[in-house]
């Protein structure tokens, strides 16, 4: 079976993330896969304008009020559509992204926030994508510091995977990589070359997942990684009531799994014990995510039902002006 794996790198050319991603691709190539690497710095990526044109169209098509989906309003204005179309031809993707201010760098988030117009379950439903490619993903975050200064990095990367239904099978936080080339110095156990070896393993894991039947695919990363047994994120918070009243004592900030915090007997570390119904909001699950589209539509319906009150207020605030900063341009 032929397969293709793409790296999407948001790090410096010649930087640590690029080296790690290249090593992962070496493993893919050794296993007979086709490979490609793009660095987001080389592409024109406009920020999502927040127009909601994509989800408005999705809602209208769902309600039978629109026949054809035109996608994002920026579709022909930059390179995002071309990148995503290429990505849709791959069975595996590895994202390698530097950590800036605890989170993935803006070069990446600017790109990822354009995924909404490509919501896979929707594109499948309308036939714009013929077959679910069941894409598997590996995530690499690269920071100058350790976990304490990359605390939102992998989780924020994971949060960008749902929209296009990419299944994360491995994630790795490369730590203490400040200057380009730092990654060659150490691994997790301060073993020379350890990080590069781990990146190679990620490439192998991606190949292994691609070669595994979709229903049998599972987590291939470090088994004790994270607190949530569902997505392996380390971020779990005390839950609040959802829009429809659903509530869990603790929730995974990434996948939405709900349950209780317990101590893992084997490791002695905290773990989320998922409740019986704890996966009803699992954002990895297309059906559970479709429920979120219901939430969006319900919020929108309630909003439109209040138009009489809203319109004069919108006019009032639109007319309000304040001193601003003006930049003189020639």
Ligand X SMILES: Cc1cc2nc3c(=O)[nH]c(=O)nc-3n(C[C@H](O)[C@H](O)[C@H](O)COP(=O)(O)O)c2cc1C
Residues that bind ligand X (CB under 6 A): 11-12, 15-18, 98-102, 142-145, 149-150, 177-178, 180
CA distances, 75 to each of 10, 67, 82, 327 (Å): 21, 19, 9, 29
Using alpha carbons, select from 272, 165, 284, 168 the residue that is nearest to residue 220.
Answer: 168
Nearer to ligand X, 18 or 155 (CB): 18
Nearer to ligand X, 121 or 182 (CB): 182
Phi, psi of 230 (to 5 degrees): -80, -50
Phi, psi of 229 (to 5 degrees): -70, -15
Least Cβ distance, residue 225 to ligand X (angstroms): 18
Least Cβ distance, residue 153 to ligand X (angstroms): 7
Least Cβ distance, residue 209 to ligand X (angstroms): 24
Least Cβ distance, residue 44 to ligand X (angstroms): 20
Residue 172: which residues within 8 A CB-CB, separation 6 or more? Answer: 20, 138, 139, 140, 141, 198, 199, 202, 221
Nearer to ligand X, 163 or 183 (CB): 183
Least Cβ distance, residue 96 to ligand X (angstroms): 7
Nearer to ligand X, 15 or 203 (CB): 15
Nearer to ligand X, 148 or 326 (CB): 148
Which tokens in the block code for residue 276?
Answer: 């019986």
Please report, in angstroms and rounded to a whole number, the separation of the first and last CA atoms in the chain.
57
Task: Give the number of other Cβ atoms within 10 Å of residue 64's Cβ.
Answer: 7
CA distances, 15 to each of 1, 137, 189, 192, 321 (Å): 33, 21, 21, 18, 45
CA atoms of 167 and 137, how far apart (whole Å): 6
Least Cβ distance, residue 168 to ligand X (angstroms): 20
Least Cβ distance, residue 2 to ligand X (angstroms): 30
Which tokens in the block code for residue 166?
Answer: 């990419």
Please answer whether residues 40 and 9 qualify as being in contact, where contact means their C-beta atoms are separated by less than 8 angstroms. yes
Bridge partners, residue 213, by sequence:
none
Which tokens in the block code for residue 230?
Answer: 């569902």
Nearer to ligand X, 101 or 295 (CB): 101
Nearer to ligand X, 101 or 301 (CB): 101
String of DSSP letters for 121-157: HHHHHHTSSSS----EEEEEEE-SS-GGGSTTHHHHH
Nearer to ligand X, 43 or 100 (CB): 100
Nearer to ligand X, 43 or 69 (CB): 43
Least Cβ distance, residue 16 to ligand X (angstroms): 4
Least Cβ distance, residue 41 to ligand X (angstroms): 10
């Amino acid at each position: 079976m032929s397969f293709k794996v793409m790296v999407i790198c948001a790090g410096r050319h010649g930087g640590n993330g690029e080296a790690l991603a290249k090593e992962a691709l070496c493993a893919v190539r050794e296993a007979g896969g086709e490979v490609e690497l793009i660095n987001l710095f080389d592409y024109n990526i406009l920020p999502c304008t927040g127009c909601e044109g994509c989800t408005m169209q999705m809602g209208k098509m769902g309600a039978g009020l629109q026949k054809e989906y035109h996608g994002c309003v920026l579709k022909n204005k930059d390179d995002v559509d071309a990148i995503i179309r290429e990505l849709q031809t791959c069975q595996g993707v590895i994202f390698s992204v530097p950590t800036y201010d605890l989170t993935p760098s803006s070069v990446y988030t600017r790109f990822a926030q354009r995924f909404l117009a490509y919501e896979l379950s929707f594109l499948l439903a309308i036939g714009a994508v013929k077959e679910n490619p069941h894409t598997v993903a590996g995530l690499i975050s690269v920071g100058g510091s350790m976990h304490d200064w990359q605390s939102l990095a992998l989780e924020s990367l994971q949060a960008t995977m749902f929209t296009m239904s990419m299944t994360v099978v491995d994630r790795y936080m490369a730590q203490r990589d400040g200057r380009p080339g730092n990654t060659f110095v150490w691994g997790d156990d301060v073993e020379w070359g350890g990080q590069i070896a781990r990146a190679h393993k990620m490439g192998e894991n991606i190949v292994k997942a691609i070669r595994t039947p979709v229903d049998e695919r599972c987590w291939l990363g470090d088994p004790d990684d994270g607190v949530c047994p569902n997505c392996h994120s380390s971020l779990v918070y005390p839950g609040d009531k959802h829009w429809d009243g659903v509530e869990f004592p603790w929730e995974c900030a990434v996948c939405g799994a709900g349950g209780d915090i317990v101590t893992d007997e084997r490791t002695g570390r905290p773990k989320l014990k998922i409740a019986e119904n704890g996966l009803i909001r699992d954002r990895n699950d297309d059906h559970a995510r479709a429920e979120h589209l219901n939430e969006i539509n319900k919020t929108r319906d309630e909003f439109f039902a209040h138009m009489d009150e809203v319109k004069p207020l919108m006019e009032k605030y639109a007319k309000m002006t304040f001193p601003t900063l003006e930049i003189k341009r020639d």
